[in-house]
Amino acid sequence: MDRVALRGLKARGHHGVFPKEREEGQTFIVDLVLGLDTRPAAADDDLAKTVHYGIVAEEVVAVVEGEPVDLIETLAERIARTCLKHEGVQEVEVCVHKPDAPITVPFDDVTVTITRSRV
């Protein structure tokens, strides 16, 4: 399976279990790896035979900016479902970063990574 990756998609969302997270929101960063067969698109040099990653990026940002959830696990699941709606995408790895998570000790990042497929 071939891979198309989008790294560092940024969007502001209001996800989290604490009222401050819901009220103020924060930046979330999403990395995606889409699994698909790119041979038909490459053979015909045809965008219609692959995934339009620009559209995927816009849809993922809309999910992050959309309805709040408590857990980034839930957010990752929603993003995966959105990606799998694209016909050629057979598998997706989603990594959601929450660099401003409300943690009381110094840290660089918090991430949840999931892999989902059509099977």
Question: Which residues are catalytically annotated?
Answer: 98
Residue 14 burial (10 A CB sphere; 0-12, 13-18, 19+): middle
Burial 55-82 (b: 16+ CB within 10 A, else e): ebeeebbebbeeeebeebeebbbbbbeb
